[in-house]
Amino acid sequence: MKMNKAGLKADFPVFEAYPGLVYLDSAATVQKPYPVLEAVRKYYCEENANPLRGLYELSVKATEAYENAREAVRRFIGAKSSREIIFTRNATESLNLIAYCWGRANLREGDELLVSVSEHHSDLLPWQQLAREKKAVLKYLECDKQGKYTADALKAALTPRTRLFAIAQVSNVIGRENPVKQFAEICHANGTLIVCDGAQSVPHMPVDVQALGVDFLAFSGHKMYAPMGIGVLYGREELLEEMPPFLSGGEMIEYVTRESATFAELPHKFEAGTVNAGGAAGLAAAVGYLEGIGLDEAERRESELTALALEEMKRIPHIHIIGSDRPEEHKGIISFTVDDVHPHDVAAVFDADGIAIRAGHHCAQPLHQYLGVQSSARLSLAFYNDEDDIRRFTDTLKTVRRRMGFGG
């Protein structure tokens, strides 16, 4: 392993608080390293004031911390301008912002929205509600049983009335990376916008929004080592300029009279009220932490562990992998079922051994229904995991059926 100490468990206080913990639920949220926690502490101890509102020194420092975080995110995902970086609470809010602000201004009766069947509910329900409200047509792009989407299927699904296509860069259930760059080119040739859910990609692999060619990208800070309550919406500047505000109130205005108001320029038009400056400071620290480790190195490490886990799981009887059985088609995420054992019971057995995994439908019920599976168990990795975590996971997996009263 080439990764230095900064990429190991010593940087994460949870592993000191819970010695022996095997944390394999990083697709839900990752643990937080000391540099991020220190950045949040420093902000509230040394820089806390209401950003953008005061001319005194402390408020200026708060504003600088907040805007420096925006620039850090812009650099991290390769956006052209910091005006294209909107801070939200999480990826869910980012996606709802697109549906509310772009959708309600641009969608007409009979227009079509296309959504991949594997989407997280956060990238499905906003479009479902928007289609109902605007009397638009909601269509689904289907994958094969391994979770693969093809360019031909996308081309066949698009029509002259398809206004928007929504897809995750990496599935939170199957773990497969989708060919977003190719899909963006296909969509734009059809006059269709593409929305990308980057919640499972941005923390684990290099992402450049200009290279991808997406119109919007949403992701959450808490999945990339930052605090909960801070998220990001990237949008092409020309699209954001045309969109009305999401919320109205303080800080998102330029001038107000009794009868009307003019709105602030980007990005503040979409950031009404007192902002989460402490969360932004933590997000900036998380970006710096990931840059210090190197996303290429983190991705390599997670790929090695994924391959190790998958190959061991394939040797265990009665285990069924959701999606492909090829390690390179799982970006640190493996969902599975165990014959005769409910996923919740699977997770309970793991918890008894000090191993945290996820069980349920993972906020992706349509995908589970499409695959004919009610629910599943899921392990999801981060670069702080190691070979011993995988060994303990597979050792417990071998015992699940026996401990639940089944043979072998």
pLDDT tens digit sequence for 360-401: 999 999 999 999 999 999 999 999 999 999 999 999 999 999
- Beta-carbon neighbour count of residue 312 at 10 Å? 17
Give 380's strand partners: 25, 333
Please answer whether residues 141 and 114 qualify as being in contact, where contact means their C-beta atoms are separated by less than 8 angstroms: yes
Give 360's strand partners: 376
For residues 212-238, give the mean pLDDT: 98
pLDDT computed for residue 69 by the predictor: 98
Q: Summarize pLDDT for 55-79 with one digit per residue, the tens.
A: 899 999 999 999 999 999 999 999 9
The rounded distance, in Å, linking the Cα atoms of 121 and 113 is 15
The rounded distance, in Å, linking the Cα atoms of 343 and 379 is 12
For residues 76-93, give the mean pLDDT: 98
Confidence band, pLDDT 50/70/90 cuts, at residue 407: confident
**Listed residue (192, 223, 188, 190) closest to 207, CA to CA:** 223
Q: Write down all domains in the chain, each with its CATH number in brackets.
A: 5-31+294-403 (3.90.1150.10), 37-291 (3.40.640.10)
Please answer whether residues 167 and 218 qualify as being in contact, where contact means their C-beta atoms are separated by less than 8 angstroms: no
253-256 vs 193-197, strand pairing mode: unpaired
Active-site residue list = 363
pLDDT computed for residue 142 by the predictor: 97
Ranges 5-9, 30-34, 125-129, 297-301: which has the least confidence: 5-9
Give the 3-state secondary structure of residue 225. Answer: coil
pLDDT computed for residue 8 by the predictor: 82
Indicate the average pLDDT of the chain: 94
Amino acid letter, residue 344: H
For residues 36-47, give the mean pLDDT: 97
Q: Summarize pLDDT for 110-148 with one digit per residue, the tens.
A: 999 999 999 999 999 999 999 999 999 999 999 999 999
For residues 337-344, give the mean pLDDT: 98
pLDDT computed for residue 5 by the predictor: 44
Beta strands (DSSP E) in 186-282 are: 193-197, 216-220, 231-235, 253-256, 261-263
Give the 3-state secondary structure of residue 364. Answer: coil
What is the Cα 371 distance to its own chain's centre? 22
pLDDT computed for residue 53 by the predictor: 76
Give the 3-state secondary structure of residue 234. Answer: strand
pLDDT computed for residue 252 by the predictor: 55
pLDDT computed for residue 1 by the predictor: 37
- Beta-carbon neighbour count of residue 105 at 10 Å? 10
Token pair in block for residue 362:
């993972």
Give the 3-state secondary structure of residue 358. Answer: strand
Ranges 175-189, 251-265, 298-312, 320-334: which has the least confidence: 251-265
Ranges 55-64, 91-100, 128-137, 165-174: which has the least confidence: 55-64
Helix (H) / strand (E) element for 319: namely strand 319-321
Q: Summarize pLDDT for 257-279 with one digit per residue, the tens.
A: 555 556 668 899 999 889 999 99
162-168 vs 112-116, strand pairing mode: parallel
Does the pLDDT at position 285 exceed 50? Answer: yes
Ranges 24-33, 265-274, 313-322: which has the least confidence: 265-274
Confidence band, pLDDT 50/70/90 cuts, at residue 224: very high
- Asked if residue 267 has a cis previous peptide bond (ω within 30° of 0), the answer is yes
What is the Cα 189 distance to its own chain's centre? 27
pLDDT computed for residue 265 by the predictor: 82
For residues 318-347, give the mean pLDDT: 97
Does the pLDDT at position 2 exceed 60? Answer: no
Does the pLDDT at position 34 exceed 90? Answer: yes
Q: What is the pTM of this model?
A: 0.95
Instruction: Give the torsion through C-alpha atoms of 216, 217, 218, 219, to 10 deg.
Output: -170
pLDDT computed for residue 234 by the predictor: 98
For residues 1-25, give the mean pLDDT: 82
The rounded distance, in Å, linking the Cα atoms of 165 and 141 is 9
Give 220's strand partners: 231
**Coarse DSSP helix, strand, coil percentages of the chain, rounded to the nearest 5 percent:** 45, 15, 40
pLDDT computed for residue 52 by the predictor: 82
Q: How many residues does the chain have?
A: 408
pLDDT computed for residue 6 by the predictor: 42
Write the DSSP assignment of 391-404 as a string of letters. HHHHHHHTTHHHHT
pLDDT computed for residue 128 by the predictor: 97
The rounded distance, in Å, linking the Cα atoms of 320 and 221 is 32
Does the pLDDT at position 281 exceed 80? Answer: yes
The rounded distance, in Å, linking the Cα atoms of 131 and 352 is 44
Q: What values do phi and psi take at 42, rounded to 5? A: -60, -40
